[in-house]
C-alpha cells in the first residue's frame, strides 16, 4: 500500500470514528474540550480542516444535498461569502 492509499484508509477510519461520535451525542462539548487541550499547532490544523469542510459545503449544488443537510450548505455559503479570505487558509507557524 502506497502513502496515498494509506492516507485515504486513515481518513476513512477518522471519519467513521467522528461520525460515530457526533451521532451518539447531542452536544460536542467533550470533543471541543479535548481539542482545546491539544497542541496549538494541531488546533490550527483542525481549524483548517473545519474551514475546508465549510468551503466544500459552500460549493455544493442542489443535486448533492437534500433537506437533511440543506441548512449546513446554506450556512457554509453565507460564511464563505461573508469571509472570503477563508479560501486562503490559515498560516502555520
pLDDT tens per residue across span 48-93:
999 999 999 999 987 788 899 999 999 999 999 999 888 888 887 7
Instruction: Check residue 2 and report its DSSP letter.
Output: -
Same domain? 83 vs 65: yes
Residue 14: give the domain boundaries: 1-37
Instruction: Check residue 38 and report its DSSP letter.
Output: S
Same domain? 31 vs 43: no
Cβ neighbours for 26, distance < 8 A, ≥ 6 positions apart = none
Per the structure, the count of domains in the chain is: 2
- Chain segment 8-56, per-residue pLDDT in tens: 999 999 999 999 998 987 788 999 999 999 999 999 999 999 999 999 9
Same domain? 29 vs 54: no
Same domain? 42 vs 29: no
Amino acid at each position: 500500500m502506497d502513502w496515498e492509499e494509506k492516507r485515504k484508509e486513515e481518513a476513512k477510519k477518522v471519519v467513521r470514528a467522528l461520525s460515530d461520535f457526533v451521532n451518539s451525542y447531542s452536544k460536542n462539548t467533550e470533543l471541543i474540550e479535548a481539542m482545546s487541550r491539544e497542541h496549538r499547532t494541531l488546533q490550527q490544523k483542525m481549524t483548517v480542516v473545519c474551514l475546508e469542510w465549510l468551503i466544500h459545503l459552500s460549493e455544493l449544488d442542489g443535486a448533492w444535498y437534500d433537506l437533511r443537510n440543506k441548512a449546513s450548505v446554506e450556512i457554509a455559503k453565507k460564511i464563505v461569502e461573508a469571509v472570503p479570505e477563508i479560501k486562503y487558509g490559515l498560516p502555520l507557524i
